[in-house]
Amino acid sequence: MKVHKAEATMESHVTQISRDDLEDLRDAFHRVDIDNSGFVSDFELQELFREARFSLPGYKVRELIETFIAGDTNKDEKISFEEFVAIYQELKSKELSETFRKTITRRDGIRSFGGMSGNSSEGTQHSYSDEETVAFVNWINKALAKDKDCQHLLPMNPDDQSLFTSVRDGILLCKMINQSQPDTIDERVINTKKLATFTMTENLVLALNSASAIGCTVVSIDAHDLMAGKPHLVLGLLWQIIKVGLFADIEISRNEGLIGLLTDKENLDDLLSLSPEELLLRWVNRHLCNAGTNTISNFSDDIKDSRAYFHLLDQIALQEEQDYKRSVKIDMSAINERDLDQRAEMMLRQAARLECRQFVSPHDVTSGNSKLNLAFVANLYNMHPGVQKAQLNGGNGIGTAHIEPESNEEKTFRNWMNSLGVSPHVNHLFWDLCDGLIIMQLYEKVNVPVNWKKVNNPPYPVLGANMKKLENCNYAVELGRDVAHFSLVGIGGENLNEGSRLHTLALVWQLMRRYTVSVLSDHGDGDKVGDQIILNWVNSTLSQNRKDIQISSFKDKLISTSLPVIDLIDAIAPGTVKWNMVKRAFRGVLKDADKLNNAKYAISLARKIGARVYTQPEDLVEVNPKMVLTLFASLMGHGMKKAIR
C-alpha cells in the first residue's frame, strides 16, 4: 500500500517523530482516508473539516485547512502519508496538533459503507453515525407525523436503513425544509402522486435548491446522491436543515427576552454579535447561576455527568411554575447516581416530563456528542425559553426599540453566503463580516484572487485586535476596487469594520451579483454581462415562445404579478406550470394575496426546474430590482445550459 512505501523515507528524515507516534499517525491517516486509497482526497478533507466545525472555532478550522493546502507539496490535490506526517509537524509548530488529533478522534463510533462512490462501484467507503440516524429519525417521525403526504414513509424505524430509502422521492426533504423555514417551498409544486424517477428527481432538485436558499451548503450533493440514499450526504443535509429550524428563534429580534443575558459590562452590540450556539450557552449558564451551581463552557465534556442538565431542567420548571402556574416538579434524586449512563437516563426521563426528550440517548450524553447535545439544548430552549420578563431590559437600560430586525435582503445575502460554505457560519451579516475574512472567501468564489499572506487570521492579539481586523477590511476594499473593479465610491475599510449597514450591503450586493452572472460570462460576445443582456434574453425568450408579455426593466411593475416569471419558466421547461394554480387579474387588478401566491409558486417552480434561486416571494411582489435581477439571471443560466444540452 502507498502509505507503507512512504515510511522508509519517513523515518530517515523525520527524526523528531518516535515509532509509537508514527504508528499513531498511520492510524490517524487511515481514519481520514475513508476510501482506503492510500491518499487523503479533497472530499475526505471536506468531510473531516465539516465535522470539525461542530466543535472547533472557525479560525482553527481555517488554519487546519490552510496548513493542509500548503502541505500538498506536489500539488496533486491529494495528501500522501509522507505529506500527512510533514503537515502534522507543521501543525505541531503552530500548536494545532492536539486540535487536529481531537478532530480525527471524533470519527470514532461511525459506521462505514461501501460501493457508493461516484468514481467506482466497489471498494469505496464513507462513514456515518448511528447516533445521528436514530436522533434524526425520531425527530422527523414526530415533526411529520400528521402530514398526509408522508404517510407512505412514516413512521421510519430508527434501527434500520429506512431513513436513507425514505428520502428517495424528495417529499420528506421538502417537508422538513418547510418545518424549519415555513413557506420556503410552495407545496403545490411538490410531486406527490404517480411518482416515477423523473418526478422524484424533480422533488429532489427542488429540495436541494430550496435548502440552499435557506443557507444550507449543498455544493457537493446532487439528486442522484440522495436517490441512492448515500448515508453521509443524507445525514449531512438533514442536520443542516434541522439546525436552521432549531436556531431560527435563537435571535434577539425574534425573542427580545434574550436581552436579559447581557452582563453588566456589555452593550447590545456585544450580544448581537453572538452566535446561536453562544447565546444558548449563556442561556444555560444563566439558569445554572440561578441554581447556584457550576457553569459550563461547551456541550460536550461539560455535560457528560448530566449534572448541568438536571439543574437546567429544574430551573426551567421552577420558572414556569412562577410565570405560568405550571406545576412540573423535576425529580433531582438521581443527580448523584454513580452509573453515569443510568444517571443520564433518569435525567432524560425528567426532560420527557417537559416534552423535550429529543435528539440524545443516555450514551450521547455520557460520550459528549456535541452535535446532538447542541440540538437537545436548542429544542429545550425553543420549548421553554425561560427568560424572565422582568429581565427584558437586563438592568442595562436597553429597550426593544434599539433592535433592528433583519430585512429580507439581508437574510437573502446571509443565506447565499452560508450556502457557499463560508467559514465561520454567518449568523449576523454586519458583525460577522467586520474582520473581512468572509469577504475574502467570497472574493475567491467570484474568481478574485486573494493573497492570504496579507490577511490577518484569528486569534487576534488582545491589544490591537481591531487594528488587525481593520487591516483586513482595508485589503477587502482594495481588492474590490482594484481587482474586482466594483463601484466602491465612499466605502472604506473602516465602514466594513464598524458594521455599517449601507456600506456593507453595497459591497455584498456586488459580490452576489458577480457570482450570479458568472455562469453567463461565456455569453454576450465575451462582453461583461450587463443588465441589458439579461433583460434582452428574457424578452426574446418570451417572444420566441409566443408569450404576449414583455418587461421594460427589472423595476417593471408587471413583475409584481409574477406572470413574466411564470411565463418564462413555461418557455424554458414546457409543461412544468399548472395553469390552474396561477392567479390572473380581474378587471385589470390582481389582489395582493394573489400576487404573493403567484410569487411563491413562481420561485418554487424556478427551483424545481433546476435554477439556484435565492429571491424571496416578497421581492417579486415589491419588485426589488436587485433580487429580480438575480432571479432572471439564474433562469437565464439554467435556460442556456439546457439549450446547450
Please check whether residue 206 is in contact with residue 604, taking contact to mean a CB–CB distance below 8 angstroms. Answer: yes
Highest mean pLDDT among 185-199, 252-266, 518-532: 185-199
**pLDDT surpasses 90 at 33:** no
Distance CA 299, CA 186 (A): 36
**pLDDT surpasses 90 at 165:** yes
Percent residues over pLDDT 70 in the chain: 79
**pLDDT surpasses 50 at 525:** no
**Pick from 37-41, 195-199, 443-447, 624-628: least confident:** 37-41
Per-residue confidence band for 260, with pLDDT thresholds at 50, 70 and 90: confident
In this predicted structure, what is the pLDDT of residue 135?
Answer: 97
Q: Which tens digits make up the pLDDT trace of 328-365?
A: 899 999 999 999 999 999 999 999 999 999 999 999 99
Residue in 37, 207, 66 with CA at minimum distance from that of residue 126:
37
Q: What would you report as the CA-atom Rg of the chain, rounded to the nearest whole angstrom?
A: 26
Q: Is the peptide bond before 182 cis (omega within 30 degrees of 0)?
A: no
Q: In 248-354, which ranges are continuous DSSP H helix?
A: 268-272, 276-291, 307-324, 340-353
**pLDDT surpasses 90 at 143:** yes
Q: What is the mean pLDDT of residues 205-216?
A: 98
Distance CA 569, CA 578 (A): 11
Q: Which tens digits make up the pLDDT trace of 621-635?
A: 999 999 999 999 999
Distance CA 382, CA 358 (A): 12
Distance CA 537, CA 539 (A): 6
Residue in 586, 423, 505, 483 with CA at minimum distance from that of residue 49:
423
In this predicted structure, what is the pLDDT of residue 511?
Answer: 97
Residue in 10, 31, 39 with CA at minimum distance from that of residue 22:
10
**pLDDT surpasses 90 at 540:** yes
**pLDDT surpasses 90 at 215:** yes
**pLDDT surpasses 70 at 50:** no
Per-residue confidence band for 395, with pLDDT thresholds at 50, 70 and 90: very low
Please check whether residue 169 is in contact with residue 236, taking contact to mean a CB–CB distance below 8 angstroms. Answer: no
Q: What is the mean pLDDT of residues 165-185?
A: 97
**Pick from 98-112, 207-221, 469-483: least confident:** 98-112
Distance CA 627, CA 617 (A): 10
Classify 38 in phi/psi space as left (phi over 0), alpha (psi -120 to 50) or beta. left
**Close Cβ partners of 397 (under 8 Å, ≥ 6 residues apart):** none
In this predicted structure, what is the pLDDT of residue 454?
Answer: 96
Helix (H, G, I), strand (E, B) or coil at 482: helix
Q: What is the mean pLDDT of residues 16-33?
A: 69
Q: What is the mean pLDDT of residues 40-60?
A: 55
Handedness of CA 112, 116, 119, 121 (dihedral sign): positive
The residue among 86 and 441 whose pLDDT is bigger is: 441
**pLDDT surpasses 90 at 396:** no
Exposed/middle/buried for residue 76 (C-beta within 10 Å: 0-12, 13-18, 19+): exposed
Q: What is the mean pLDDT of residues 370-391?
A: 84
Q: Return the C-alpha cell found at 210.
A: 430550496
> What element of type H or E holds 110?
strand 110-114
CA angle 587, 590, 592 (to 5 degrees): 150
Distance CA 99, CA 63 (A): 11
In this predicted structure, what is the pLDDT of residue 391?
Answer: 46
Residue in 635, 631, 605 with CA at minimum distance from that of residue 412:
631
In this predicted structure, what is the pLDDT of residue 105?
Answer: 56
The residue among 258 and 235 whose pLDDT is bigger is: 235
In this predicted structure, what is the pLDDT of residue 8?
Answer: 42
Per-residue confidence band for 122, with pLDDT thresholds at 50, 70 and 90: very low
Q: How far is CA 595 from its chain centroid?
A: 30
Q: What is the mean pLDDT of residues 427-450?
A: 95
- Give the orientation angle of helix 2-13 with respect to helix 19-32, to 10 degrees: 150
Per-residue confidence band for 530, with pLDDT thresholds at 50, 70 and 90: confident
Distance CA 113, CA 34 (A): 10
Per-residue confidence band for 87, with pLDDT thresholds at 50, 70 and 90: confident
Per-residue confidence band for 64, with pLDDT thresholds at 50, 70 and 90: low
The residue among 243 and 72 whose pLDDT is bigger is: 243
**pLDDT surpasses 50 at 134:** yes
**CB under 8 A, 24+ apart: contacts of 85-93:** 85/10, 85/14, 85/17, 85/22, 85/25, 86/14, 88/25, 89/14, 89/16, 89/17, 91/64, 91/67
In this predicted structure, what is the pLDDT of residue 55?
Answer: 47
Q: Is the peptide bond before 385 cis (omega within 30 degrees of 0)?
A: no
**pLDDT surpasses 50 at 185:** yes
Distance CA 535, CA 460 (A): 46
Q: What is the mean pLDDT of residues 73-94?
A: 70
In this predicted structure, what is the pLDDT of residue 127?
Answer: 55
Distance CA 271, CA 177 (A): 28
In this predicted structure, what is the pLDDT of residue 100?
Answer: 61
Distance CA 341, CA 347 (A): 10
**pLDDT surpasses 90 at 594:** yes
Q: Which tens digits make up the pLDDT trace of 298-335?
A: 999 999 999 999 999 999 999 888 777 677 899 999 99
Q: Is the peptide bond before 617 cis (omega within 30 degrees of 0)?
A: no
**pLDDT surpasses 90 at 641:** no
> What pTM, to 2 d.p., does this model score?
0.81
CA distances from 538 to 72, 428, 520, 628 (A): 45, 34, 13, 12
Distance CA 31, CA 213 (A): 33
Please check whether residue 177 is in contact with residue 185, taking contact to mean a CB–CB distance below 8 angstroms. Answer: yes
Residue in 502, 514, 516, 508 with CA at minimum distance from that of residue 615:
516
The residue among 455 and 48 whose pLDDT is bigger is: 455
In this predicted structure, what is the pLDDT of residue 271?
Answer: 86
Distance CA 363, CA 371 (A): 13
